[in-house]
Amino acid sequence: MLVHTPIARQVRFDDGLKPNSTSTRETTVTRLTYIGHATVLIDTLGVRILTDPLFANRVAHLRRQAPPVDRDATSRIDLVLISHIHEDHMHLPSLRSLDPPPRVLAPAGAVPILVQAGIQNVQELHAGESAEAGGVTIVGTKARHSRLRYPFGPSAEPMGFVIRGSKSVYFAGDTDLFDEMNGLEPNLDVALLPVWGWGPTLSRGHLNPRRAAEALRLLRPHMAIPIHWGSYSPIGMSWLNPSFLTRPPREFKRAASEIAPNVEVHVLVPGAGAELVEGIWNAGT
C-alpha cells in the first residue's frame, strides 16, 4: 500500500527566483555533491540547495576528518534546508558564513534560534507542507529523531525533505525507520540516506547501514547515495584510523544488494559530486 504524505498547505515562498529554462541541459540535469556529514549540494533547475550546512573543522567534540570544504563549491546558495536542530545539522557559524544569505527553510521550533542568531530569511516548514523556489518544489516530510538541541532543550520537530526539481531527491535528515517511508514519494529518483553517525557506535534515532537498506525497501528510489559517514570523528580518535569512517557505505551497499536489489547505490566520498541526466549517472564531476 502506498502511503503518501499529505500536503496540508502550500507555503508562499516568494524568493524572487524564476523558473530556470536557460538551456535544455540545465533543465534536465540534477547535480549532487556530497560536501560531508549531512551537507549535500543539490543543483537542480538552476536552483542551488544546500542541506544542513556544516563546514567547520571542529564542532563540539568532533573534528573533521574529510578534506576541508571547498567554499567555492558552496557559494551562491539559493536555499538552505535544515532538518533538525542538533548542532551538527543546524550549525550557526556555517549558516552565518553563507554569502549572500540564502533563504532558509527550517522546522517549527528552529526559527527562534536562527533569528536570535542573526540568520536572515528564515521560514518555518512543517511535515506535509510544501514551498516553491525557482520552479523547484520542496516538501517537508516526517522524521523520527530526537527533538532536543541539548540535553535540556530547546526542542524542535525533526523533519526530512523531498526536493522536486528535474529529478526528485529525498533528504532524510537524521531519522530512524518510520512507517510512512513506504511510498513517501512515488517514483522517487534519489534517496540521500544517513548510514552512520560520527563515532564507533550509533545512538537511538539513527539508521545503521542495514536499517538504511531497509529504508530503501520502503522508499523504492531508483538510486541511493549514503551520507552521514566519513566526515567527523571524536577528537583524539583519528590516529586510530577508525573503520567507522570508511566501512558504513560499503556495508550499506552490500545490505542494499540483498534487501533492495533494484536500487542502484552510488557512493560519493566527501567532496565528490555526480550528475544525473535522464536516468544516466555521471560520476566524478
Interaction between residue 149 and Zn ion (CB under 5 A): no
Cβ nearer to Zn ion, comparing 174 with 275? 174
**Number of residues lying near Zn ion (CB under 5 A):** 2
C-alpha–C-alpha distance, residues 110 and 82, integer Å: 9
Cβ nearer to Zn ion, comparing 78 with 174? 174
Binding segment for Zn ion (CB under 5 A), chosen from 23-31, 38-46, 172-180, 262-270, is 172-180
**What is the grid cell recorded at 281?**
549517472
Cβ nearer to Zn ion, comparing 168 with 233? 233
Interaction between residue 228 and Zn ion (CB under 5 A): no
Report the residue from 174, 185, 251, 275 that binds Zn ion according to the rule CB under 5 A: 174
Query: Shortest approach of Zn ion to residue 271 CB, angstroms?
Result: 22
**∠ at Cα 109 (107, 121), nearest 5°?**
65
C-alpha–C-alpha distance, residues 67 and 235, integer Å: 16
Q: How many helical (H) and strand (E) elements, i.e. helices and strands, does the chain have? A: 5, 19
Query: Shortest approach of Zn ion to residue 105 CB, angstroms?
Result: 17
Say what the alpha-carbon torsion angle 156, 186, 194, 76 is, to the nearest 10 degrees.
-70
Amino acid at 39: T
Binding to Zn ion (CB under 5 A): which residues in 69-88? Answer: 86
Interaction between residue 124 and Zn ion (CB under 5 A): no
Which residue in 117, 115, 120, 159 sits closest to 138, CA to CA? 159
Applying CB under 5 A, the residues found at the interface with Zn ion are 86, 174
